[in-house]
Amino acid sequence: MTTGVHTSGRAPLDKKVGVVMGAGPGIGRAAALALANAGASVVVAARNLERLETLACELTDQTGQLIIPLEADLGDLTSCKTLIAETEERFGRLDVLVNVATGGGPNTPIIDADWDGWRRAFELNVIGNLELSRLAAKIMMQHGGGSIIQIGTFGTHSRPVRQGAYTSTKEALLSASQTLAKELGPRNIRVNMVTPGYTTGPNLDSLFAGVAQRTGESVGEVSQRLAKTAALRGHVDPEDIAAAVLFFAGPGGARITGVELPVTAGQR
């Protein structure tokens, strides 16, 4: 993957600080790696501290940047506050926030909805993400601006059955983020969303296994069938999502805010 270094030799995020919330395998890891390769110091955050410590060591070895693991829970607003406070305490600033962490919600038809499950999904995917966003923004205001990047879902466009809770939360997050972009724009803080299509990794493997069980296909057949529905005839990789994150975080996205960028291989 490209490091994103300008021809002048200076990394685009040199001396910047980023937080990746939900820095597990897949998109979170790829996003943290992209920010670090672009010159940023990065806080990787999630609930599993042991896994984060391993990730931080790996990314530090690969990039030479300072990678700090911090345990945090998106569903706990106090934990969100502690994450941002510890980031400011360690680095004195925060320039980029990438909200990858998410919760799926109940996988049932709306007619059979478990409203407690819906509430939990909204608490995680909307309230938790917005809490992190506003806490980060308050620090960014003190240092000339910054970039907040939300991760959406292609389900808000395809409207898959049985996923109403999850897609509703991401639609709400997009709407709130676009409002936040207008509110924070005068302070030079940009808020955008990257929306992945079918993204390779354990979560996609699990999804395809579930489809295969219902249809009688093999997992490979499911993957190939759905790949053919994309204009580019394939799925996207975590690194593709990370490239879009890096664009919004860096100078290339300096005049862009309040937009959703689908990275879907042309999935319709």
CA distance linking residue 52 with residue 23, whole number of Å = 7
Q: What sign does the dihedral 25-28-33-36 (CA atoms) show?
A: negative
190-261-25 Cα angle (round to 5): 90
- The letter for the amino acid at 68 is I
In 3D, which of 39, 22, 17, 4 has the Cα closest to residue 196? Answer: 22
| Catalytic center residues | 166
- φ, ψ for residue 41 (rounded to 5)? -80, 145
